Amino acid sequence: MGAQHETLAFQAEVKQLLHLMIHSLYSNKEIFLRELISNASDACDKLRFEALHDGALLADDPDLRIRVAYDKAARTITVSDNGVGMSREEVVANLGTIARSGTREFFAKLSGDQAKDANLIGQFGVGFYSGFIVARKITVLTRRAGSEAAVRWESAGEGEFSIDAAEKPGRGTDVILELREGEDDLLSTWRLKSIITKYSDHITLPIVMRKEEWDKDKNEYVTKDEDETVNQATALWTRSKNDISEEQYHEFYKHVSHDFEAPLAYTHNRVEGRQEYIQLLYVPARAPFDLYDRERKHGIKLYVRRVFIMDDAEQLMPQYLRFVKGVIDSNDLPLNVSREILQESRDVKAIREGCTKRVLSLLEDLAGGDEEAQKEKYAKFWKEFGRVLKEGVGEDFTNKERIAKLLRFATTRADTDEETVSLADYVGRMKEGQDKIYYVTAETFLAAKNSPHLEVFRKKGIEVLLLSDRVDEWMVSHLTEFDGKALVSVAKGDLDLGKLEDETEKKERESAEGEAKDLVEKIRKALDARVKDVRVTHRLTDSPACLVADEHDMSGNLARLLKAAGQKAPESKPILEINPRHPLVTRLKYEEAKFDDWSHLLFDQALLAEGGQLEDPAGFVKRMNEMLLAMTLAGK
Ligand code: ADP
Ligand code: MG
């Protein structure tokens, strides 16, 4: 047992959150009620779940409900639930700290610009502390189900809070808000009711308020000694689609996802067959700050026959769709299903497959839509979650084709880094005689766009996909073809342009190769330690040289990415390709004394051009200066 009375400081991030919350969310102040009701509902869900194993927890007070009350004289609003409640330790942990990994990094990103930060805060989830938008003091009186002891938590939302032992007749939690000056308009049945129907109508439990009736004699409303339920109090997902408004879908989303913004799209279905379940799945409008955090919570809540079983049911959605939020309510799973069972169950696998297909169809609908609004939505989706979806190409063999169709790329056809081209678009406008899909990978969009490897493709007007996401190298290693056309890196292997090269070009290349034979041999000798081979290029038109990886070697870009991530990359030497038509290369033919130096220069600049790092930068600069000097003197 802890001390009777304690005053504790909030975690630094909580202080920051409180400050921001009060200042930037004021124009949205009503949401505090949604958040408190949402917590009350979660607390009841948790209790119902615990009671599956220990029926006594629920027995003395079996009807779960949430109550909203106000006291005009005391200027308070109270939100009560008879849910699971909190122990002293839980109160300290839950209402004094933010237990989410990445929180500190998240707060470090806040700019101090309130309008901008308000958006970020929304993404982070506003939660309990939003009460301080309207309250100058909050008291939480709570008693854990199964325990006799109650706790009182109090805070003015500044630096600290106090904790005391207390008495409370039944289990559950009362959150009492003492309103700030000027918030008295909230002290009205009508006002509170309308906030509840707007934001919390979808809550599964009854939300009750004291009934009010017009008293003709007194000529005013009087409060009766009787409750009335002010929301629909049915599980939203069990209702028929036609009976649910867009707004109700959105509010429900905010409840399950703890998001502040409306979702981008959703799908709601009753699935029948071997497994019977309801799925209500949402795609958020914005990626959460911790999308790449391995520890982060997933967004699916699992219910079994309306009973909440667990949050964060990651088995129900593949990794690459981890951004999806929502509810799955199964008719068939046992109520005592645990995470371990979920992992192995074939029924769960069937549900996951069904849900994956649904989400992919939802995305296909957006992607394939003719309407501007849909296109815009898909573009937005792609910007937020495209990189995650790309993981699916390697992760989900069954749906690989469908995922491939959903991918979008930047290409040499446009000047911007916007990723708008699908593989189908690309294939649809392939040149006559072209039978491959070409791509280049680099660390940045600019490096990809200006890669020397693209020169011949530019000249021939062949479109090339520009890949600069980290995940792209991995993706193309799994996506070797689309629609029967191989995906080929322009910086790998012996570029075979096939029919894209005409007879005269072929002849010209062969003669150039013949003429440059001795030169190639000499350079090969000079660079023996650095290259696997030297050969005449047919990729280049303007640059003197470029590096390529051998067909089955790792690309230079991937090797650099791995090294940057602290992983081992196999040491494979690149191939140097030279452009025999380039004046620097022709000039090399007549060089004697400095031949080796100049060969190294060719190699080094090719390495730089593809984003590589020089092993000996000072040596490079020295050679470069010598060459410049030699040229200036020669020019005199
Ligand atoms: P979130 O709901 O996203 O977890 P909140 O800030 O809304 O974050 O709430 C923080 C935590 O406080 C909850 O996760 C829960 O553990 C606890 N909590 C808040 N309200 C209640 C309540 N009425 N009953 C029990 N626990 C609660
Ligand atoms: Mg909450």
- Testing ligand 1's pocket by substitution, the residue of 21, 36, 87, 94 carrying the most ligand atoms inside 8 A of its CB is 94
Q: Please state the atom number of ligand 1 nearest to the C-alpha of residue 127.
A: 7
Q: Which ligand is nearest to the CA of 174?
A: 1
Cα-to-centroid distance, 128 and ligand 2 (Å) = 6
Cα-to-centroid distance, 103 and ligand 1 (Å) = 17
- 388 burial class (0-12, 13-18, 19+ CB within 10 angstroms)? middle
Per-residue confidence (pLDDT) for residue 15, from 0 to 100 = 86
CB distance 45 to ligand 1 below 6 Å: no
Mean pLDDT confidence for 237-259: 93
172: left (phi over 0), alpha (psi -120 to 50) or beta: left
Per-residue confidence (pLDDT) for residue 635, from 0 to 100 = 66
Percent of the chain's residues with pLDDT above 90: 63
Per-residue confidence (pLDDT) for residue 606, from 0 to 100 = 93
Mean pLDDT confidence for 294-310: 83
Q: Which ligand is nearest to the CA of 43?
A: 1
Rounded Cα distance between 226 and 209, Å, is: 9
CB distance 125 to ligand 1 below 6 Å: yes
pLDDT at 29 over 80: yes
CB distance 420 to ligand 1 below 6 Å: no
Per-residue confidence (pLDDT) for residue 126, from 0 to 100 = 75
CB distance 259 to ligand 1 below 6 Å: no
Of 12-26, 179-193, 239-253, the least confident: 12-26
CB distance 83 to ligand 1 below 6 Å: yes
Q: Which ligand is nearest to the CA of 94?
A: 1
| Helix ranges (DSSP H) in 369-497 | 372-395, 400-406, 423-428, 445-449, 455-460, 470-478
Which residues sit opposite 376 in a β-bridge?
Answer: none
Mean pLDDT confidence for 455-480: 93
For residue 489 the two structure tokens come to 């890196």
Per-residue confidence (pLDDT) for residue 145, from 0 to 100 = 96
Q: Please state the atom number of ligand 1 nearest to the C-alpha of residue 81.
A: 23
CB distance 326 to ligand 1 below 6 Å: no
Cα-to-centroid distance, 337 and ligand 1 (Å) = 24
- Testing ligand 1's pocket by substitution, the residue of 11, 42, 133, 141 carrying the most ligand atoms inside 8 A of its CB is 42
Per-residue confidence (pLDDT) for residue 108, from 0 to 100 = 78
pLDDT at 114 over 80: no
Rounded Cα distance between 408 and 422, Å, is: 5
CB distance 152 to ligand 1 below 6 Å: no
Supply the residue whose CA is at minimum distance from atom 10 of ligand 1. Answer: 94
Return the sign of the alpha-carbon dihedral for residues 15, 67, 268, 244: negative
pLDDT at 17 over 70: yes
Mean pLDDT confidence for 68-97: 95
CB distance 174 to ligand 1 below 6 Å: no
Q: For residues 564 and 456, which has the higher predicted lDDT (pLDDT)? A: 456
- Count Cα atoms within 13 angstroms, Cβ side, for 209: 24
Q: How confident is the model at residue 522 (pLDDT cuts 50, 70, 90)?
A: very high
Cα-to-centroid distance, 41 and ligand 1 (Å) = 10
Mean pLDDT confidence for 276-285: 97
The three-state secondary structure class of 289 is: coil
Per-residue confidence (pLDDT) for residue 510, from 0 to 100 = 86
CB distance 258 to ligand 1 below 6 Å: yes
Supply the residue whose CA is at minimum distance from atom 27 of ligand 1. Answer: 39
Cα-to-centroid distance, 136 and ligand 1 (Å) = 19
Supply the residue whose CA is at minimum distance from atom 21 of ligand 1. Answer: 39
Rounded Cα distance between 316 and 569, Å, is: 35
| Cβ within 8 Å of residue 219, ≥6 positions away | none
Cα-to-centroid distance, 185 and ligand 2 (Å) = 24
Cα-to-centroid distance, 233 and ligand 2 (Å) = 19
Q: Please state the atom number of ligand 1 nearest to the C-alpha of residue 172.
A: 24
Rounded Cα distance between 111 and 126, Å, is: 18
pLDDT at 118 over 70: no
Cα-to-centroid distance, 33 and ligand 2 (Å) = 11
Per-residue confidence (pLDDT) for residue 280, from 0 to 100 = 98
pLDDT at 618 over 90: yes
| Cβ within 8 Å of residue 391, ≥6 positions away | 319, 320, 471, 474, 475
Q: Please state the atom number of ligand 1 nearest to the C-alpha of residue 46.
A: 25
CB distance 255 to ligand 1 below 6 Å: no
Per-residue confidence (pLDDT) for residue 343, from 0 to 100 = 83
- Calculate ∠ Cα 114-384-468, nearest 5°: 115
Cα-to-centroid distance, 74 and ligand 2 (Å) = 26
Contact 584, 519 (CB under 8 A): no
CB distance 94 to ligand 1 below 6 Å: yes
Amino acid identity at 31: I
Q: pTM for the full model?
A: 0.83
Contact 282, 274 (CB under 8 A): no
pLDDT at 295 over 70: no
Q: Which ligand is nearest to the CA of 83?
A: 1
Cα-to-centroid distance, 124 and ligand 1 (Å) = 14
The average confidence (pLDDT) of the chain is 90
The three-state secondary structure class of 540 is: coil
pLDDT at 109 over 80: no
- Testing ligand 1's pocket by substitution, the residue of 33, 39, 153 carrying the most ligand atoms inside 8 A of its CB is 39
pLDDT at 103 over 90: no
**CA-based nearest residue to 547, from 497, 483, 609:** 609
Distances (CA, A) of 212 to 191, 215, 223, 225: 13, 9, 4, 9
Please tell me which of 97-111, 359-373, 390-404, 614-628 the model is most confident about, judged by mean pLDDT. Answer: 390-404
Of 43-52, 386-395, 491-500, the least confident: 491-500
pLDDT at 1 over 60: no
pLDDT tens-digit series, residues 546-602: 999 998 888 888 888 888 878 887 778 999 999 998 998 988 888 888 899 999 999
pLDDT at 66 over 80: yes
Rounded Cα distance between 409 and 421, Å, is: 5
pLDDT at 105 over 80: no
pLDDT tens-digit series, residues 370-383: 888 888 999 999 99
